């Protein structure tokens, strides 16, 4: 780290503030309906598979799920691990897994479901583990039933539909999508009928809508979830999300954004960052001054915020776990 950056550390914000905390409230009717439908279907479920973003292993996980699924085997897939440093940090990885198990998760897997080799991993590792967990737990009214029902849960945009489609493609050799996949939070909006993913044994998966907690414990937790695209960007505001990412990177002394965006120095001012991006990327709006009838050029801050966010989400600003592990 340069001397200039070391000197600037004391100038960085210690707390992130949001203009309106209601920006983080997103619990539409289909989520409440989905929670009720999940509870109604639970008696016919043999195993719970939760998918969550590995960058936020604790933030955003709906604690209400713990109460309704605690009697079933619970496997957690921490997806998008390629965007974290967990593959190179076994100490951090073990701390995360141990804490999650203390919260009631039976088994944790780190995955990147978009990599093709994970399809084999799902077949040869994940499914056998789920079958073993099921065999060690009472199935209540399903003891004599030969097929198995899995319920897939999680917050929006973490890879639930990708998991289902990958499993179906691997085990049944069926192409195409059995359930919708998208990069926008909230694509799946209802609890669907059973999707068959295996014939030996017969395994069916019930997809569910991404369900958020009704509220977050604090602003920073909600902003971590927003930064990982589990909330619709337009609700929180792209500039607010970019500002939080800048705040978090500075707070953790990670200044890769300076080099990536060819800035002269680190800064805690998101408008300054976005303006410099606008100049370099020529992302400006031509606006006519009503008084002078002259045209002026102003930075398109919203567009540049999207560029900044995209760079973070794709790992160009570094690979991170946003949650504190300790």
CA 55 to chain centre: 7
Residue 159 known to bind ligand:
yes
Q: Which of 199, 167, 54, 147 is closest to 179 using CA atoms?
A: 167
Alpha carbon dihedral 309, 312, 314, 317, in 10-degree steps, equals 140
Look up residue 119 and give its two tokens.
């399809």
Residue 34 marked ligand-binding: no
Structure tokens at 308: 């900044």
Three state DSSP letters for 185-253: CCCCCCCCCCEEEEECCEEEEECCCCCCCCCCCCHHHHHHHHHCCCCCHHHHCHHHHHHHHHHHHHHCC
Q: Check the annotation: does 157 bind a ligand.
A: yes
Q: Tell me the C-alpha distance between 216 and 224, whole Å.
A: 11
Question: Does 81 appear as a known binding residue?
Answer: yes
∠ CA(219), CA(322), CA(234), 5° rounding? 50
Give, in degrees to the nearest 5, the angle at Cα 18 between 16 and 24: 115
The answer to whether the annotation marks 79 as part of a ligand binding site is: yes
Spatial neighbors of 99 by CB under 8 A, at least 6 apart, are 57, 58, 325
Please tell me whether 161 is known to bind a ligand: yes
- The answer to whether the CB of 251 falls within 8 A of the CB of 277 is no
> Long-range contacts of range 99-102, CB-CB < 8 Å, 24 or more positions apart?
99/57, 99/58, 99/325, 100/57, 100/58, 100/76
160 is in an annotated binding site: yes
| Residue that has been written with the tokens 């068959």 in this structure | 196
| Binding-site entries | 79-82, 157-162, 210
Residue ranges for the known binding site for GTP are 79-82, 157-162, 210
């Amino acid at each position: 780290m340069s001397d200039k950056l070391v000197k600037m550390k004391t100038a960085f914000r210690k707390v992130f503030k949001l203009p309106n905390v209601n920006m983080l409230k997103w619990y539409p009717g289909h989520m409440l309906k989905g929670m009720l439908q999940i509870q109604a279907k639970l008696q016919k479920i043999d195993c719970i598979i939760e998918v969550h973003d590995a960058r936020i292993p604790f933030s955003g996980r709906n604690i209400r799920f713990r109460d309704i699924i605690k009697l079933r085997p619970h496997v957690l897939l921490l997806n998008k691990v390629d965007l974290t440093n967990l593959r190179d940090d076994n100490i951090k990885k073990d701390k995360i897994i141990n804490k999650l198990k203390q919260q009631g998760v039976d088994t944790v897997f780190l995955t990147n479901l978009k990599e093709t080799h994970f399809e084999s991993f799902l077949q040869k590792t994940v499914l056998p583990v789920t079958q073993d967990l099921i065999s060690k737990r009472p199935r209540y009214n399903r003891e004599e039933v030969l097929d198995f029902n899995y319920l897939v849960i999680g917050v929006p945009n973490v890879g639930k539909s990708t998991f289902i489609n990958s499993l179906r493609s691997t085990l049944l050799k069926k192409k195409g999508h059995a359930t919708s996949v998208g990069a926008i939070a909230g694509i799946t909006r209802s609890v669907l009928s059973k999707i068959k993913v295996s014939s030996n044994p017969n395994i069916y998966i019930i997809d569910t809508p991404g369900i958020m907690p009704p509220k977050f414990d604090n602003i920073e937790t909600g902003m971590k979830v927003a930064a990982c695209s589990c909330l619709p960007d337009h609700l929180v505001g792209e500039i607010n999300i970019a500002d939080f990412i800048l705040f978090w990177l500075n707070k953790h002394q990670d200044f890769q954004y300076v080099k990536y965006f060819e800035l002269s120095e680190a800064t805690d001012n998101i408008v300054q960052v976005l303006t410099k991006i606008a100049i370099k990327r020529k992302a400006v709006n031509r606006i006519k001054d009503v008084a002078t009838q002259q045209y002026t050029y102003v930075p398109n801050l919203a567009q540049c915020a999207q560029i900044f966010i995209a760079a973070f989400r794709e790992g160009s600003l570094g690979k991170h776990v946003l949650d504190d592990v300790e």
